[in-house]
Structures are given as C-alpha cells and as structure tokens.
Amino acid sequence: MELVSLVRLEGVAKHVVLPDDTRLDILRGIDLEIDAGDHVAIVGRSGSGKSTLLNLMGMLDAPSEGSVSFRGEPVRRMRKARLDRLRGRNVGFVFQQFNLLAGRTALENVMMPLGYARGREFWTRRAAATRTLERVGLGHRIDSTPEQLSGGEQQRVAIARALVRRPALILADEPTGALDVETGASVMALLDEIASEADAALVTITHDLNVAARARRHYRLDAGALTAFELDVPGHSSAADASGLAASVEETTDAVPASDPIGVSS
C-alpha cells in the first residue's frame, strides 16, 4: 500500500497584481512533501514569502498555480465549510506575536479552538484545555491573563492553544522571534517534544540557527524558490550564528521589493 503524504505541494506558485497592474511573484514552482512526524525548518530573509508558504500549507490561502493536497486529497476541490473543519481539526498555528486574546485567561485562550468542536470534545473542552496547559508547565497559571504572563509563558499558552485539538500538522511562524535566546530554546524544546510524542508534523519558519538545527530537514526560500540544504551546526551555537545564517540567506537572495502593500510576501 502506497503511503500518502500528510501535505503535498506540487508546482505551487503565488502571485498578486499590484495597484499599478504589475505582477508580484511571491512563490515559484514549489514542490514539497510533509509526512507525519516530520520536522522541517524553512529559512529565508524577510519578504521572501515564508509566511505565504506557511499559509498555503495550512490551507489559509490558495495557490495561483499548482496544487496543495492534504492526505492525498486536493484542497481546491473541498467546499469552504469542509475545508474550515479540516483545518480546525488538523492544523495548529503558533505565531511570533502569540495572538492571545487580551483580558481572557490562559484557560479561556486555550479553550477557544474547542468552541467549534462537536459532541464530547465540546463538552469536555475545559478539562482538555486544563490538561494541555499542565502539559506545557502552566497548570498554576490557568486563571492568569496575557498581561500577567511573561513572554515565554504567553508563548507556552499559544502552544497549548495550537495543540489542544492534537493536530496532525503544527505550523510555527517565527515562534521564538519575540523571546530571548534562553527562553526561546526552552519553548522550542517543548514544542519539539510534544510534536514528537503525538507523531505530528512540525514546520518551523525561522531566522534562528538554533531553532532550524532542531529540524531533520532544512530548506531555504530564496527569490520565491525553495531548495533543500544541509545544516551542520556545532553543539553550542550562539545567537551570533543565527545572525550569520540570516546574513548568508540574504546574500544569496535576489532583490525583493522592500514594500509589500498588501502584506502577503512576508
């Protein structure tokens, strides 16, 4: 029996037409397969299209050309309601800026994705959210609001929210970008550990060499094209190494318009 990839991109391109009627090509001819249990890192300079690629993998956006398939089924053939259910059940997003609801407790934030669940999953959402917060070490902070939490704690709440439905695919967009190096390392270790336990695929977009080094496969997004590369990292790499990686990525990337009037090429 042939194994089916969790997510498969074939010949994916993304472009937009700017107000002056010129076309901006964001992604070009991308082929990528993600399997259950994969851990993939994608690096590239700001404006290279990393977040756009993540949105396509997470079925938040559709390609201009090519196809995106989830468990062997082309996403473009799905009705919106089914696609929304599929994404909500199977994809967890972790963002750099946490995106927590201000004034709501950690428990309420983590419960949010379960508000659209059905049956037992809906009625037991409080217990599930509590267990997930305990799993990320925040069982004692369930009644705290984001304003009362440190940056690292807020990111842990965001991770708990992404994982509460035990998704098959975790997409992390610069998950340590708003954290100091030590806190970022502990957050990534936790995210990697939980993803491995659940056999979930983890795709991380990052500028941080230490974060990228945790992945088993590494890709560089350069001028809209995705290429695999080997990342050989010393055992005790530093933040300076991360800067070096970002610089090397920039040096090999063709010029991309500095301004992005519609906010899709980040």
Q: What CATH number does the domain containing 178 carry?
A: 3.40.50.300
- At 8, phi and psi to the nearest 5? -135, 125
Give the strand pairing for 23-34 and 7-17. antiparallel
Instruction: Compute how many other C-beta atoms are within 10 angstroms of the C-beta atom of residue 263.
Output: 8
216 vs 233: CA distance, rounded Å: 12
**Averaged confidence pLDDT in the chain:** 85
Instruction: Evaluate whether residue 226 is within a structural domain.
Output: yes
Task: With beta carbons less than 8 A apart as the criterion, state whether 173 and 203 touch.
Answer: no
The rounded percent of the chain whose pLDDT value lies above 90 is 61
For the chain, the domain total comes to: 1
121 belongs to a structural domain: no
The verdict on residue 91 lying in a domain is yes
Q: Residue 70: inside a domain, yes or no?
A: yes
Helix (H) or strand (E) holding 111: helix 106-111
Q: Which two tokens stand for residue 67?
A: 């196809």
CA-to-CA distance for 265 and 259, rounded, in angstroms?
A: 9
Of 39, 77, 21, nearest to 171 by C-alpha is 39
Least confident of 166-170, 185-189, 215-219: 185-189
Q: Give the mean pLDDT of 21-38.
A: 95
Tell me which residue has tokens 């925040």. 138
pLDDT of 116 over the 80 cut: no
Expressed as residue numbers, the domain containing 25 is 7-99+169-251
Structure confidence at residue 225 as a pLDDT band (50, 70, 90): very high
Domain assignment present for 153: no
Does residue 265 form part of some domain? no
Give the per-residue pLDDT at 203: 96
- Facing residues of 160 across strands? none
Q: Position 92: which residue type?
A: G
User: Which residue in the block uniquely carries the two structure tokens 């708003």?
Assistant: 178
- pLDDT at 57 exceeding the cut of 90: yes
Domain assignment present for 162: no
**What average pLDDT score do residues 189-207 get?**
91
- Whether residue 149 is contained in a domain is answered as no
